Homo-oligomer: A and B are copies of this chain.
Amino acid sequence: MKIIADNLRITQKSIADAVMQKNPAPLQDMVKRCENAGAEGIDINSGPLYRNPESQMTFMVEAVQDVTRLPVIIDTSNPKALKAGLAASKNPVTLNGISLEPFKLEQILPLARAYACDLICYLLYPNGHVPPDSAGRLEVAVSLYQKCREAGIEPDRIIMDPVVAPLSWQDGLFQAREVLTVIRTLPDLLGVSVRTIAGLSNLAAGAQASARKHLAEQVYLPMLAASGLSMALMNVLHTEPVRVARMCRLLSQESIFTWEMVP
């Protein structure tokens, strides 16, 4: 399970200001802190970038890649920004992402094909809603997988996001369990060892921080890992979840055999 930083977000005022002023330092500082903390990939969450999407995304991608060789995830629903980010990227890049929403299928799927990059597929209904259970998500996964294959996307480029829902939802615990079922079931269902990603921060979204919420994240992460999750998108500047994530990798990564040989 790889650890992907979700810390670089334009919703943070310091990052928004830096992008507006084309000042790379705050972005680069954040990226270096994330890499030092153990990030193995950087999600560049630019938001929709309504104004000057191309130049702003180009700036963000270049700023990030001037200080890291880590893979990046370009996280926006704006196809113009995605395209500019793809063109500017030297590092391995993942598009984040598509769903069954028609606009995204039409605009973003061809980009993933043209650039032969990795692509995150959200298991959401065409109207953007979260399916009520694992069966709904798996049905969406089959449709999305077919759309990708028809568009010429190779299976090993596809990364499924089962959509972690907030525990504060009325059926939050049920949703959390259904996500585990989806991750465990997808490879058998699709007949390929498709990769998966999950946004851990969503679990406690919309709720006040508390010891109980932190504990939920720390317990849910190993459950995701044991279910076969490939990539955890998370705040890597929180020390404890990163320690847990590293231990998850140790306990779940098939290439590591021996406890005494690892740092």
Contact = CB atoms under 8 A, between A and B. Distances in A.
B216 A219 contact: no
Given A176-B251, A227-B226, A250-B173, A167 B259 contact: yes
Work out how many copies of this chain go into the complex.
2
B226 A168 contact: no
A74 B165 CA distance: 42
A4 to B, nearest CB: 19
Interface string A73-105: 000000000000000000000000000000000
Contact of A223 (B173, B215, B222): B222
Interface stretch (A151-159, A191-199, A241-249): A241-249
B244 A223 contact: no
Given A171-B258, A250-B173, A257-B171, A223 B225 contact: yes
A114 interface: no
Interface in A186-237: 215-216, 218-227
Which of A172, A177, A220, A222 is the most central at the interface, judged by chain B CB atoms within 10 Å of its CB?
A: A222
Contact of A172 (B171, B176, B225, B259): B259
Nearest to A225: B223
A262 B247 CA distance: 28
A127 interface: no
A244 B218 contact: yes
B222 A173 contact: no
